[in-house]
């Protein structure tokens, strides 16, 4: 599931077990302390899959080949970077977006060509899914 939030929106994190035990919209009853990891270099990539619950902070460049239940991509409005090839920046963003297994959250402060294109794409996908659901009900 992809979600697109302006930068002022706050997000609450809880474990999959907590999410599964709550009715939609029900607030979490407790919060778990979360360890933050800043892995650096090829040798520390193994720590990204440790058994401990942790927030992993990874650059888009180093995320290739990894997968996470939740991926946050902040400051999307700053892409593409000035002086960088837009196609290369789009490929890098694609790599970061496809690291998400369950949930992708992207934020921006100011709109950019990327935020507009992504919002248009999300709208098109939503419309297509709605049409498919309507056809299933009618069929």
From the list 102, 81, 82, 103, the residue with the least C-alpha distance to 92 is 81
| Range 2-138 classified under CATH 3.30.450 | no
Per-residue pLDDT tens, the chain, 139 aa: give them: 444 444 443 444 455 555 555 555 555 444 444 455 555 555 555 666 666 667 777 888 888 888 888 899 998 899 888 899 999 999 999 999 999 999 999 998 988 888 998 899 989 999 999 999 888 888 6
Burial of 138 (0-12, 13-18, 19+ CB in 10 A): exposed
Spatial separation of the C-alpha atoms in residues 58 and 37, rounded to whole Å: 9
Q: Where are the domains of the chain?
A: 2-138
């Amino acid at each position: 599931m992809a979600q697109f939030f302006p930068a002022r929106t706050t997000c609450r994190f809880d474990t999959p077990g907590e999410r599964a035990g709550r009715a939609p919209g029900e607030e979490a009853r407790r919060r778990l302390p979360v360890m933050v990891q800043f892995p650096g270099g090829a040798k520390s990539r193994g720590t990204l899959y440790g058994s401990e619950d942790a927030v992993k902070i990874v650059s888009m460049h180093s995320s290739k080949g990894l997968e996470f239940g939740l991926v946050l991509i902040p400051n999307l409005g700053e892409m593409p970077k000035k002086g960088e090839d837009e196609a290369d920046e789009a490929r890098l963003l694609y790599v970061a977006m496809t690291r998400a297994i369950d949930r992708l959250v992207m934020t921006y402060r100011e709109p950019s060509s990327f935020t507009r294109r992504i919002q248009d794409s999300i709208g098109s996908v939503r419309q297509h899914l709605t049409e498919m659901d309507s056809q299933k009900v009618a069929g």
